[in-house]
Structure 1
């Protein structure tokens, strides 16, 4: 039996997101287009109205979001949240710990994506004064929208190049993600495998270790993320 606290079911992470309502150069309000290189993402819409714009091998898509909508997408899907009014989402992320460790890549213009140092500067937010952080987050969002517009205009070749750039940008980090994934995901899968094997023999002794856990909020206030201001819970396996 695995020792310590189990992670949230499925090795996932949970956050509450209030999507940016800042106007954008194309006349819409919302967040920064980006993709995840190893993790899928799911939404449970709990308030407001909006849309999710996507770009994948299936082409350009737009998906309405309203309270009660449940939507998810796989790694490599470029996604942009559009806030049509008060959009709030409970976000469920696959592979808890990986997105925070750099699994996501913004859709900056290609000259930024091609230079890891330039990308690191463009994607970073300053510490300290909230107004300065908000200004930097908005500037970062607008730069990602610039590259996003180019991708939509270019089509499949642009998306293929973005995927290649993303792979290069995260290559140095990916080896370090494995330990996080093994603790958050693999350990839970292996424990389920053991439980199913035991149950097939009529052995339910693992149920004696049943337990309840409460996740603590990681932030006292909402912080600036890619798509909006968010609060997360500490739900990782320990």
Structure 2
């Protein structure tokens, strides 16, 4: 099965060739012992809610357009631009508020960070931090809600300026390649990043809420697709 087939939705509610914009990604929730999300797509004045596995999150980007349920491919809206942003811990604030999802009677809680950079303010949705910084692949996404599960997949030990990882048979071979492995090593060797990652499971297990503070000590450089405004804009995808 190729990558495109793996991420094509069977429950796509729109017509063939109809372009639908992803307008909202819900907070994750437990259903039948799995972590799920609702994704809201809108086309031709209709908003449809689709139940998706949490593992599809890397393919989803707010306000991007999708066709025929193929979430492997998306296009940004025309009123966006790419912006290089450096996020420093002293220039980030957190906020949350109730949100009415356009075209439906559904409500959710919007959780986001406001990032100040070059005299502008950018809204960074918390779910985008998860999708692009903390857990940009399926392995990390699923581990995000499991307390202390890393030892099931690898044993880590350290020497001076070296990290050794011995992987178990449960760790999929493809995650030892390229960016997958670099992301894991970056997570493991930065104590502040790792603490945020591990605290997510504790908070979610006890409250059912995906929420965390921005305690990253080092500046994080991102290239973001931004819906711009005069004062900054909203980060749609990193």
What range describes the TM-score normalised by the shorter chain of this pair? under 0.3
Considering fraction of residues, name the structure with more helix. Answer: 1
Question: What is the TM-score normalised by the length of structure 2?
Answer: 0.25
Q: Tell me which structure has the larger Cα radius of gyration.
A: 1
